[in-house]
Every structure is written in structure tokens, then in C-alpha cells.
Amino acid sequence: MPDQLNDAATALGIDIGGSGIKGAVVHTSTGELVTERVRIPTPRPSTPEAVAEVVRDLAHRCGDPSVVGATFPAIMQHGVARSAANVDASWIGTDVDAIFTAAIGRQVTVLNDGDAAGVAEARFGAARGVSGVVIVLTFGTGIGSALLLDGKLVPNTELGHLELDGHDAESRASAAVRDIHQLSYAKWAKRVQTYMSYVEGLFTPDLFVVGGGVSKDSAKWLPLLELKTPVKPAVLLNNAGIVGAAMAARERPEA
């Protein structure tokens, strides 16, 4: 197993969310997980010190591979968080790359969580080979997003934070909101419809891909949407962030 963990095509992907931090070693030439996925609840409060400790623990549980990537729910600029969505506000202005690198003792490549899911779906999933404008939306604790043009990422769109009817969009239509208010899929789909119609009007995409934990139940709500744009469920489901993080780390120039 140690040789497999440090194979030239593998990397550890860590996906940091508002409710859970999960990770696995990924074969980056196929997008497949080569170890079991590990999930640890996101600490409360989710300060840099607390999250870094979980990242260290998760890396150890996954065999301490040499190449590591991580997603983060924030606008990421050269490894620095410029916002903080569903994590402690003390992350704003923090060098996330540096904190995680120090925590586990080797380089960690960090990118926005929605962007990671987007590049993974473009390489291995529902957006593979699709030209034009593709928008990947992940519904979880919040709403992550990725904007792709001919398969290339336009980073940090953060479309979950669009203002919609006077509210932050993810506060109305995230999967967590459905759980909190115990909404049926039919009632929740109406909120998703309103949100995605707005995004559709702004970008006129050629394809929507929807992911996140709720994507495994896509048959219960995707058929209820009435959009002009085709909508596909994510192929990688809730593993897209893990796969995208691993890809970013393996493809970092010095990796």
C-alpha cells in the first residue's frame, strides 16, 4: 500500500465542508478512489487551528501520501482565503496553503471547493468533452459553483452567494436548508428552480451539472426542474471535491 500511495499518478484529496471534512487517495489518471473515504466532522468553532488538526489526522488515516490537495469553502487567491463560507470568519486573509502545509509537514495545494468539483467533473464526469459554457453547482451545507468554458475553469465564481429575493442564495436553496426545514423534494425543488433560473439568465450555459451530497437522490428532484438548459447529475457525486483536490495537487508544477 505505501508504494501505491506515493505512485506518480496518485494524490490525497481532502474536501473541507461546513459539516464534514472528508478525504481519500485518488488515482488522478482515472478519478477513482484507491483508499476508503474517511470523514471527520468539521470542528466547532472551525478555526484555522482546529481545522488544521483535523487535516493532519485525516492525512495520517489515509496513509500520509506525499502529494496532497485540499478544497476550501472560500474565494482562494494564491492559497489565501479572501472570504469564509460556512467556516469561522478568522480564516479571511489566512494563508490556507501555509497552514495545512505546516500541519502535515509537506506541501498542500488548496483551491475553492466548487472549483475542485468542477474540474473533476470536466475531466472524468458529466462535463467531460462538453464545449461551451458549463456551470457545476454543488448542493450541500452551502452551494458551491464552478464555471467552465470549453473545459477550462474560470475560478472563484461563488455563485451560491448571489443575492436572490433579498437573501444569500444558499440560505434559501442549499441541501442543508432542505434538511433544516424538513422540506419535501418537491418543495425544495421549487427553490432550486428559482435559483437556477436566475443563474441561467445571467450566463446562458450550455449545461448544468449538479453535485454535492444531494446528487445521489437526483432522480427525486431533477425531473421537477423546468429549465431551458440541460441538467445532468454529477457522475462523481459527493466525491468530486476529493478528486478535484487530488488533481490540483498532482498537477501543481513542482509536484
Interval 69-98: pLDDT, tens = 999 999 999 999 999 988 999 999 999 999
pLDDT at 64: 94
pLDDT at 255: 47
Distance in angstroms (rounded) separating the CA atoms of residues 228 and 217: 22
Element (H, E) at 167: strand 167-168
Among 208, 206, 210, 127, residue whose Cα is nearest residue 173: 210
pLDDT at 108: 97
The structure's pTM equals 0.91
| Residues in the chain where the model's pLDDT stays below 50 | 1, 255
Per-residue buried b or exposed e for 97-109, using 16+ beta carbons within 10 Å of the residue's own CB: bebbbebbeebbb
Superfamily of domain 126-235, CATH level 4: ATPase, nucleotide binding domain (3.30.420.40)
pLDDT at 226: 97
SS3 59: helix
AA identity, residue 37? R
Residues of the chain with CATH 3.30.420.40: 2-115+240-250, 126-235
pLDDT at 250: 94
Distance in angstroms (rounded) separating the CA atoms of residues 208 and 133: 9
Strand partners, 211: 138
Name the CATH topology of 2-115+240-250: Nucleotidyltransferase; domain 5 (3.30.420)
